[in-house]
A and B are shown apart, each in its own frame.
Chain A
Amino acid sequence: MAAPAHLLQGTLDLLILKALSLGPMHGLAIARRIEQVTRGAFAVKPGSLFPALHRMEEAGWLSSSWGESANNRRARYYALTAAGRRQLKTETREWGRIALAIESALRA
């Protein structure tokens, strides 16, 4: 939640895509993975996670199916589709460009 609100949406999409590039996960696992890789900078709450997941599924980047969790709970698993992989590549490239631009802007 430390990140400024207006950065959140695009960033959250990218983080979800990145998390899922390791393999299918359910919602809570995605949230924990993001927390972990950002060292707690992004604490993803269900209120933003679910709409993002469903939006991305509608966009065709994710597919979902019901499965069993590690402790035998029924959970909805999300996986990257081919389009999702392409999207991850594009967004990663975009992000790199923006980060570079901002960094050079701040140094100047």
Chain B
Amino acid sequence: MLFPRALSLWRNLVHRDARERDLDAEVRSYAAMLEEEMVERGLPREEARRRAAIEVGGAEQVKEDVRAVRMGALLEATGRDARHALRALARTPGFTLAAVAALALGIGATTAIFSVVDAVLLRPLPYRDPEGLAVVFNHGFTAVSPANLLDWKRQATRLSGLAAAESWGTNLGGGDRTERLEGVHVSADLFPMLGVTPLQGRLFGPEEDRPGSPRAVLLGYRLWQRRFGGDPGIVGRPILLDGEAHTVVGVMPRGFEFPPFWATGAELWAPLALADRSANREAESLRAFARLAPGASLAEARAELAAIAARLERAYPGTNRDVTLRALDDVVVGHVRLALYVLLGAVSFLLLIACANVAHMLLARAAARQREIALRAALGAGRGRLLRQLLTESLVLALIGGAAGVGLAAAALRALVAISPGNLPRLETAGLDPSVLVVTALVSLATGVAFGVVPALQAARQDPSASLREGERGSTAGGGHRLRRALMASELGLALVLLVGAGLMIRTFVALRAFDPGFDTRHVVSAVVSLTGSRAADPPRRLAFYREMLERVRALPGVEQAATINHLPLAGDVWRVPFHVEGRPLDAPGEGPRATYRVVSPGYFATMSLPLVRGRDFGADDALGADGVVIVNESVAQRFWPGVDPVGRRITLDDPEKPVWLTVVGVARNAARGEWAAAPDQEVYLPLLQSRTYLEKEGGPFTFMTLVVKAREDPGAIASSVRSAVWQLDGSVAVSDLQTMEEVVAHSTASPRFYLLLLGSFAAVALVLAAVGVYGVMSYSVARRRGEIGIRMALGARPRDVLALVMGESLGVAAAGAVSGLACALALTRLMSGLLYGVAASDPATFASVAAVLTLVALVAAWLPARRAIRADPLAALRSH
């Protein structure tokens, strides 16, 4: 049965013209035979023809009925309706453009944001069974020591794997310039645990994960392309890292990164080879990653690990405090989840506003076309046919809007990736998501259908003659108008929520801008200078190199001061070391105070314009062999020497049982540390000239310093001459991360700026859409009451009264919208308080000013049509009535 039906459908569609001709011929042949029959019965030819024509009736109607029963009739009619709809839409370009724009904005923005959320939050991480991967946390941080890691690994039964990684910076030689690369040292079992396979070559074998074995390295895809031109022959060849040959054993696939929340710039991996420090329980430099044993839950594994750690804490007091596991997925995206959900919520509000707007426009259009519809109904168009046609018009509109939305979404997504603050993991993998396109398309289609059909139903239900008589003031307008006022109120309410959100982000951003990092950010440029693998790294030459470098940089034109620091505030690492204050009782192991550890050359405080509130800076005499000195920040001074001058007091960073005392010579102002606007923490500054660690110790972390240079004028202008000066001194030294302090600050406030930008643009679009909506409703309302206004003015009402009448109506609706919007905002902004700084989620000033802005918009949007009404000639208005 299916096949002949399909065939018939095909015939009807393809041979439509033939069918039409056939039908036409059939009807005419019938009429001719009827006429013949009547002539035979004796009627005159003329009369016979007339009667035959009457009997066949509206030949068109007969044909239409026949078409309706034909298979495929529906499809054919839809095609006809679609063509008709396109023509009708083209006749009102203003309406069409506005509706398409509103739909495209809603669909485009929603799709783009949802695609980001999908890529970052919803899609599983690209490892085998990613839900079974977890990260070990040790007193709130991800850093663990080798001995603890090995103990956990030996004892845990709920984990099938526990692998380690350690941050690694290395200098790649062999090119024109030594290049500083970020890498990760990994235990040999890490990559197999993740279930990743290399693109070329192989992973590390267990024999390579031992000290003294031949040095092996895995290249990242980008590095392989950039430095080796994607040469497949690279596998098995040696490359020069920190001056030593490493054999490339493989290349990782494109886009591979691990872990996706830390050291994400890593471009190469080498074996960790822990063995010689496997007894070290102090240095917490490793990150530990676990895989749950088959059948084990995260909670079980966490409980077991806590029990193991508790046993170890008894054996080694001060260690193994608060050891827990968190799902890898949670660690990777936990910090951006809130922001992304807030954005998703905001953008769906925007979609709702856009839909409400389109609904307005469709309702207004239907009202304006009531006369046309009534006329067509009177001329014999079936109700179903009219309905179908209006419906098609809405659908065509929604489809065009949807198509434009897809284009907009693609563009918006590219823009989002370009301006994102770089803390959204996997953002670069975001692509337009078909499922979200389907959802947004359905929402816009539903809008088109709901608001294209309601007025169509009303129009078709009416008595055509009544509607024709009443003309534009169709009797259904009252109900339609109530609906439109409800739409206007909800649009205003939704826009208000978005505006409050954006307003709170603006206040946050202003507060962040006003935050004082404690040092001058406008005149300083910084660069990481890494000696690793260079001639200058040799302990006897290292100090000489730093001295000579600073002298050369200070001699550059435009440079006021220069210094070095181990970890630059905001950009560099934050290392915290335990310390002990002379004269205080000894703390239990692991219970003592800790401070951020800074190692600086003389002149650092002057270079950063970071004031010393007491005492002095380090001098050239504070060198090895002289008495140990230290500068503490205000937090340390206030905690340990409140109301007393700390200068001359002593602390030690060593074991308090065998202390090497350092005398406090100065107190520095509190400064921003790792995160912008985070609460200040205790900091200790040690002189580089006395630091055996930084002057003599071998190894990556200790053979680089950050050079900070204070410029007289524009710091960007001297950046390249600073780099040249370092390279003139020694070309084998790597200079990287050359940036002004303003760029560093901009980077650390990039996330709130990104959220502000997005929320702000959503709110702006929402405001425009809401204003257009109010304008539309009030224009319609004024048009409907033109007669009434005319009568009022003829009876002596002043323009002011009419204005008050119209604007009062708008104000009433706006008030309803504002009240519901404020209530909604109050409930919803609480959810985003995690994104705010320096402002409460229920900030009254923001709420009040947003409500005021929205009221103003509603008034202006009502004032425009009202002004038109009072300017119109009252007589003309009455006559048209």
Contact = CB atoms under 8 A, between A and B. Distances in A.
Interface of A: 26-28, 45-47, 50-51, 54-55, 58, 60, 69, 71, 73-76
B38 to A, nearest CB: 11
Interface in B38-97: 55-57, 61-62, 65-66, 68-71
Given A28-B34, A28-B37, A60-B4, A74 B25 contact: yes
A51 B29 contact: no
Nearest to B30: A27
A51 B65 contact: yes
Contacts of B22: 76
A25 to B, nearest CB: 12
Interface centre among A46, A54, A60, A69 (most CB of B within 10 A): A46
Contacts of A50: 26-27, 30, 62, 65-66
A51 B66 contact: yes
A28 B66 contact: no
B309 to A, nearest CB: 78
B797 interface: no
A41 B62 CA distance: 22
Contacts of B56: 46
A92 to B, nearest CB: 22
A65 to B, nearest CB: 11
A86 B713 CA distance: 101
A63 to B, nearest CB: 12
Interface in B2-30: 4, 8, 22, 25-27, 29-30
B4 A47 contact: no
A60 B29 CA distance: 23
B55 A45 contact: yes
Contacts of B36: 71, 73
23 contacts: A26-B29, A26-B33, A27-B30, A28-B30, A28-B34, A45-B55, A46-B30, A47-B61, A47-B62, A47-B65, A50-B26, A50-B66, A51-B62, A51-B65, A51-B68, A54-B70, A55-B69, A58-B8, A73-B32, A75-B30, A76-B22, A76-B26, A76-B29
Given A46-B27, A51-B68, A74-B25, 7 more contacts: A46-B30, A50-B30, A51-B66, A51-B69, A54-B66, A55-B69, A73-B33
A85 B70 CA distance: 21
B37 A58 contact: no
A50 to B, nearest CB: 5
Contacts of A45: 55, 57
Instruction: Determine chain B's interface SS by DSSP, over half rule.
Output: helix
Contacts of A27: 26, 30
Contact of A75 (B33, B65, B66, B70): B33
A50 B55 CA distance: 13
Contact of B33 (A28, A55, A58, A60): A28
A27 B62 CA distance: 13
B50 to A, nearest CB: 16
Contacts, number: 56
A54 B69 contact: yes
B31 to A, nearest CB: 8
Interface residues of B, number: 24
Interface centre among A50, A74, A75 (most CB of B within 10 A): A50
B30 A58 contact: no
B33 A69 contact: yes
A75 B27 CA distance: 9
Interface in B656-682: none
Contacts of B33: 26, 28, 69, 73, 75
Contacts of B25: 74, 76
B55 A46 contact: yes
The 8 closest A-B pairs by CB, nearest first: A55-B69, A51-B65, A28-B33, A76-B26, A54-B66, A51-B69, A46-B56, A27-B30
Given A28-B34, A73-B32, A74-B29, A46 B62 contact: yes
A20 to B, nearest CB: 16
Contact of B70 (A28, A47, A58): A58
Contacts of B69: 51, 54-55, 58
A75 B32 CA distance: 10
B584 to A, nearest CB: 99
Contact of A73 (B29, B61, B62): B29
B823 to A, nearest CB: 55
A46 B135 CA distance: 81
B784 to A, nearest CB: 41
A27 B22 CA distance: 14
Contacts of B4: 60
Contacts of A60: 4
Nearest to A29: B33
A46 B34 CA distance: 11
A59 to B, nearest CB: 10
Interface in B377-393: none
Nearest to B29: A75
A45 B53 CA distance: 12
B11 to A, nearest CB: 10
Nearest to A76: B26
Contacts of B70: 54, 58
Nearest to B22: A76
Interface centre among B25, B26, B62 (most CB of A within 10 A): B26
Contacts of A47: 57, 61-62, 65
A91 to B, nearest CB: 18
A61 B22 CA distance: 19
A45 B34 CA distance: 11
Nearest to A71: B36
Contacts of B32: 73
A92 B7 CA distance: 30
Interface string B543-566: 000000000000000000000000
Interface centre among B34, B57, B65 (most CB of A within 10 A): B65
A45 B31 CA distance: 11
A45 B55 CA distance: 7
A38 B268 CA distance: 95
Contacts of B8: 58
Contacts of A76: 22, 25-26, 29
Contacts of A73: 29, 32-33, 36
Contacts of B30: 26-28, 46, 50, 75
A33 B34 CA distance: 14
Contact of A58 (B26, B55, B65, B71): B71
A76 B22 CA distance: 9
Contacts of B68: 51
Contacts of A74: 25, 29
A76 B27 CA distance: 9
Contacts of B62: 46-47, 50-51
A60 B66 CA distance: 16
Nearest to A56: B69
A23 B389 CA distance: 42
A88 to B, nearest CB: 19
Nearest to A51: B65
B28 to A, nearest CB: 10
A101 B26 CA distance: 40
Contacts of A75: 29-30, 33
Nearest to A52: B69
Nearest to B61: A47
Interface centre among B4, B32, B61 (most CB of A within 10 A): B32
B59 to A, nearest CB: 9
A48 B802 CA distance: 58
Contacts of B65: 47, 50-51
A73 to B, nearest CB: 6
Interface centre among A28, A54, A74 (most CB of B within 10 A): A54
Contacts of A54: 66, 69-70
